[in-house]
Chain A
Amino acid sequence: DADVTQTPRNRITKTGKRIMLECSQTKGHDRMYWYRQDPGLGLRLIYYSFDVKDINKGEISDGYSVSRQAQAKFSLSLESAIPNQTALYFCATSGPTYEQYFGPGTRLTVT
């Protein structure tokens, strides 16, 4: 079984809709992250969490919110989706040397 899972894997939604992307991990790590990937731009950090009570904004947090429900679960919400949030979204955890373990990604399309 995968160490980091994401649901859904693909989602098409309309402008203005609220959407939640979910992430679960079985690695037992405290640190979890949400990134978005756009062609030619690499990965950009949206939010990160060092433990259940610690949540921090990344470089592109506007328009997004997160919830850390448990050590193993970290969800990302788009309160009112807009077309430029169309992207590939990755959840990750990190180990003791800050190496990142990524989920398979969620492809989100906002029409």
Chain B
Amino acid sequence: GEDVEQSLFLSVREGDSSVINCTYTDSSSTYLYWYKQEPGAGLQLLTYIFSNMDMKQDQRLTVLLNKKDKHLSLRIADTQTGDSAIYFCAESIRSSASKIIFGSGTRLSIRP
């Protein structure tokens, strides 16, 4: 079946790097996404990666994709208090372009 899993919580010291991990089960995914949700707001697309790529970098964000292990990660460099949020991993399924499967979200908290 299709499933996307993430750990529920991550605590990081301000200024350190955060690494949020995600695993998925469907090998036919076309795109994988990272979204950020701040309190009281909708999900905001941070970045996405096409399934034939291994890495994508965008300023402080680095996405790594290991297709063999079906593992996706989001690294946030120099984590700031404004990065506190819930981060969702998601994948689109090749066989059903309408279907986006979301993980349950990882809550990132920043400690001073």
Give the interface of A toward B (CB within 8 A).
4, 31, 40-43, 45, 48, 50, 56, 90, 92, 94, 97-105
B100, A100: Cβ atoms under 8 Å? yes
A-B contact count (CB 8 A): 54
Least Cβ–Cβ distance between B9 and chain A, in angstroms: 11
Q: What residues on B are CB-neighbors of A40 within 8 Å?
A: 8, 104
Q: What residues on B are CB-neighbors of A94 within 8 Å?
A: 100
B30, A42: Cβ atoms under 8 Å? no
B41, A99: Cβ atoms under 8 Å? no
Give the interface of B toward A (CB within 8 A).
4, 8, 30-31, 33, 35, 40-45, 48, 50, 88, 90, 92, 97-100, 102-105
Beyond the given A42-B103, A97-B31, A99-B45, could you list 11 further A-B residue pairs with CB under 8 A, ordered by the A residue number?
A41-B104, A42-B4, A42-B102, A42-B104, A43-B102, A48-B98, A56-B98, A98-B30, A98-B31, A99-B31, A100-B45
Interface of A is mostly: strand
Q: What residues on B are CB-neighbors of A103 within 8 Å?
A: 42
List 22 contacting pairs A-B, 8 Å CB cutoff, sorted by A: A31-B98, A40-B8, A42-B102, A45-B99, A45-B100, A50-B98, A94-B100, A97-B31, A97-B48, A98-B31, A98-B92, A98-B97, A98-B100, A99-B33, A99-B48, A100-B45, A100-B100, A102-B35, A102-B42, A104-B40, A104-B41, A105-B41
